[in-house]
């Protein structure tokens, strides 16, 4: 579904991605793990088109999308849930969801709202409240639901567990698995390598702007180097 080859990206003279290769198959849940500053966020943003790539290619469903503006990539079927959720705090929960549906026709919005309300009942309960009044976990759900309103084929999730209590993290990861079970292909970036790799079909490890290891999630969890570097064992 997604094939990234030789991707490079710069912030001015600083090179953040040094030729990244990854592939995501339809229906897979793929985890990208690595230390702070490894380039994980930059990679997700380059795929969704909010960060320019300076070289390499990004093919989505056999089409090179690397020159498309971000909104065209949303229309093609890629939605991103940004790091730190970025909900619009003064706006109602429902209006946040409607913003996520900017590519959809009027007739499609109602059924999509009903679908995300079924997945996240709390968002239905709190639909008239300002998004800023939600808890961190609820805001993560809102950010995910907002991305789902575009009806993506590929969902990019940046650090969904950031700043959340362990029980809430479990709940969020359960929901991510549920989305995969519904047929959505997912690429998730996580500092919480253990949680991400344990649900991932495929994992990639990133260091200093390069992919340094890849394999099945369960295999990477057993790897000694990964255990020492990312799991504190
Ligand atoms: P984190 O978990 O902290 O988000 P990350 O693996 O997602 O880390 P990136 O945020 O992609 O890493 O950062 C990759 C590199 O690019 C780092 O060296 C970082 O300092 C640099 N970088 C990121 N954003 C900018 C920016 N806006 N301007 C300059 N350099 C940046």
What is the reported pLDDT for 232? 67
pTM score of the predicted model: 0.93
Q: Which atom of ligand 1 is nearest to the CA of 189?
A: 7
Tokens, residue 214? 């890849």
Express as a percent the part of the chain with pLDDT over 70. Answer: 99
If one residue of 37, 163, 207 were mutated to test the ligand 1 pocket, choosing by the most ligand atoms within 8 A of its CB, it would be 37
pLDDT tens-digit profile of 172-189? Answer: 999 999 999 999 999 999
Q: Which atom of ligand 1 is nearest to the CA of 191?
A: 2
**Closest C-alpha residue for ligand 1 atom 19:** 37
Q: Which atom of ligand 1 is nearest to the CA of 34?
A: 6
pLDDT tens-digit profile of 90-135? Answer: 999 999 999 999 988 899 999 999 999 999 999 999 999 999 999 9
Predicted confidence (pLDDT) at residue 231 exceeds the cutoff of 90 = no
Give the number of C-alpha atoms closer than 13 A to the C-alpha of residue 83, restricted to the C-beta side: 13
Pairing of the two strands 14-24 and 78-81: unpaired
Residues with CB under 6 A from ligand 1: 11, 14, 16, 34, 36-42, 191
Q: Output the CA 41–ligand 1 centroid distance in Å.
A: 7
Q: What is the DSSP letter of 152?
A: -
Q: Output the CA 108–ligand 1 centroid distance in Å.
A: 37
Mean pLDDT, residues 32-46: 94
pLDDT band at 228 (very low <50, low <70, confident <90, very high): confident
If one residue of 42, 188, 190, 207 were mutated to test the ligand 1 pocket, choosing by the most ligand atoms within 8 A of its CB, it would be 42
* Residues forming beta bridges with residue 32, ordered by sequence position: 189, 204
Q: Which atom of ligand 1 is nearest to the CA of 43?
A: 11
Mean pLDDT, residues 144-150: 96
Question: Of the candidates 14, 25, 23, which has an alpha carbon nearest to the alpha carbon of residue 211?
Answer: 23
What is the reported pLDDT for 233? 62
Predicted confidence (pLDDT) at residue 46 exceeds the cutoff of 90 = yes
Q: Output the CA 69–ligand 1 centroid distance in Å.
A: 21
- Mean residue pLDDT across the chain: 94
Predicted confidence (pLDDT) at residue 5 exceeds the cutoff of 80 = yes
Task: Kindly report the CATH number that applies to the domain delimited by 1-77+154-233.
Answer: 3.40.50.300
Pairing of the two strands 29-34 and 185-190: parallel
What residues does each domain of the chain span? 1-77+154-233, 86-151
**Closest C-alpha residue for ligand 1 atom 30:** 11
Mean pLDDT, residues 199-216: 95
| Pairwise CA distance, residues 30 & 185, whole Å | 8
Q: Which residues fall within 8 angstroms of residue 169, CB to CB, at 6 or more apart?
A: 161, 192, 195
pLDDT tens-digit profile of 64-74? Answer: 999 999 999 99
Predicted confidence (pLDDT) at residue 23 exceeds the cutoff of 90 = yes
The larger pLDDT score, comparing residue 2 to residue 166, is at 2
What is the reported pLDDT for 186? 98
**Closest C-alpha residue for ligand 1 atom 27:** 11
């Amino acid at each position: 579904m997604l094939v990234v080859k030789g991707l490079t990206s710069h912030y001015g003279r600083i090179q953040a991605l040094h030729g990244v290769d990854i592939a995501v198959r339809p229906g897979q849940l793929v985890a990208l793990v690595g230390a702070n500053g490894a380039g994980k966020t930059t990679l997700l943003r380059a795929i969704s088109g909010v960060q320019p790539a300076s070289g390499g290619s990004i093919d989505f469903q056999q089409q090179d999308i690397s020159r498309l503006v971000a909104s065209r990539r949303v229309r093609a079927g890629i939605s991103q849930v940004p790091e730190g959720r970025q909900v619009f705090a003064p706006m109602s929960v429902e209006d946040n969801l409607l913003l996520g549906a900017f590519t959809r026709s009027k007739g499609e919005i109602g059924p999509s709202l009903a679908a995300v309300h079924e997945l996240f009942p709390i968002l239905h309960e709190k639909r008239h409240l300002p998004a800023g009044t939600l808890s961190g976990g609820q805001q993560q759900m809102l950010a995910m639901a907002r991305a789902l309103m575009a009806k993506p084929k590929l969902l990019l999730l940046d650090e969904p567990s950031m700043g959340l209590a362990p029980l809430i993290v479990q709940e969020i990861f359960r929901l991510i698995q549920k989305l995969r079970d519904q047929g959505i292909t997912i690429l998730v970036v996580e500092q919480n390598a253990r949680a991400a790799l344990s649900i991932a079909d495929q994992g990639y490890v990133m260091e200093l702007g390069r992919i340094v290891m890849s394999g099945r999630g369960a295999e990477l969890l057993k790897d000694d180097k990964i255990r020492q570097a990312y799991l504190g064992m």
